A and B are shown apart, each in its own frame.
Chain A
């Protein structure tokens, strides 16, 4: 519990001072390897868009992300985009999510994307948002890379998604 409090306080400091976040970023491991590439061929107005967030958003009825593991929790929560706001919450001690709690669009912009669908700018929004938490480290990086990320990808392919928007926390 004390360490969770410490992480939450640190998250507030990092949120207030982006230069600290930049310094932290420089300490991370460089991921080599080829970056995949697919040409976007459909106009946005005809495309089915999926939303992926690393903001730790989940249904209140789902198990929260595990905050007791300092390497994070690499598991996936599927969040229907039509979920009423009061049934959603954020479990993620590594960023200050007080603002995101008051406007979930900051990390999970479903309201804006739905409005873009209504305005005819986006063809459709895939009705299930994919939510994970950032701050994955240690052995869980392999789990994310080898299991969770391919699982998300398979689900989006199966759903006929054309483009994916990824939002960090």
Chain B
């Protein structure tokens, strides 16, 4: 998947990727990856766990804007089936966008 993310980014589109096996992602890092130590086939979490799925999407898009180094693998710290996920904060979602960084002034 890292190869696909790299090709898309190389074509000019910023990417954010989920990762469930850090050791695999480290071999072909995409530009930005959010790592969860979840089982195969469960990148968004558990069946029907809507809040969890939104939480992971929020983190993935947050990373899209916050990462500043190619090949960033951010550990979400989420533990499989051991977290409580609150209702989505839509206002917080709507605020996601470019962040000011000293190294990338705009």
Contact = CB atoms under 8 A, between A and B. Distances in A.
Interface of A: 11, 14-16, 18, 21-26, 28-31, 34-45, 50, 52, 54-55, 95-97, 99-100, 102-103, 105-107, 109, 112-113, 115-116, 119-121, 132, 134, 141, 144-145, 148-150, 152-154, 156-157, 161-169
Interface string B66-106: 00001100000000000000001010011011100000101
B14 A149 contact: no
Contacts of B44: 105-107, 109, 112, 167
Given A28-B27, A44-B61, A120-B94, A166 B13 contact: no
Nearest to A40: B14
22 contacts: A31-B27, A36-B10, A37-B9, A39-B98, A44-B94, A52-B4, A52-B8, A97-B41, A103-B47, A105-B44, A106-B43, A106-B47, A107-B43, A120-B90, A121-B94, A132-B4, A145-B7, A152-B7, A156-B11, A168-B1, A168-B17, A168-B43
Interface in B11-62: 11-31, 37-48, 50, 53-54, 57, 60-61
The residue in B1, B2, B12, B22 that gathers the most chain A C-beta atoms within 10 A of its C-beta is B1
The residue in A26, A44, A115 that gathers the most chain B C-beta atoms within 10 A of its C-beta is A44
A18 B37 contact: yes
A164 B13 contact: yes
Interface of B: 1-31, 37-48, 50, 53-54, 57, 60-61, 64-65, 70-71, 88, 90, 93-94, 96-98, 104, 106
A116 B41 contact: no
Given A95-B41, A105-B53, 12 more contacts: A18-B37, A18-B40, A21-B40, A22-B22, A35-B70, A102-B47, A115-B54, A153-B13, A157-B12, A165-B17, A166-B18, A168-B1
A166 B5 contact: yes
Nearest to A94: B40
Contact of B48 (A38, A103, A156): A103
A18 B18 CA distance: 16
Contacts of B2: 31
B53 A44 contact: no
Contact of A39 (B14, B43, B50, B96): B14
Given A112-B53, A113-B57, A35 B14 contact: no
A55 B42 CA distance: 10
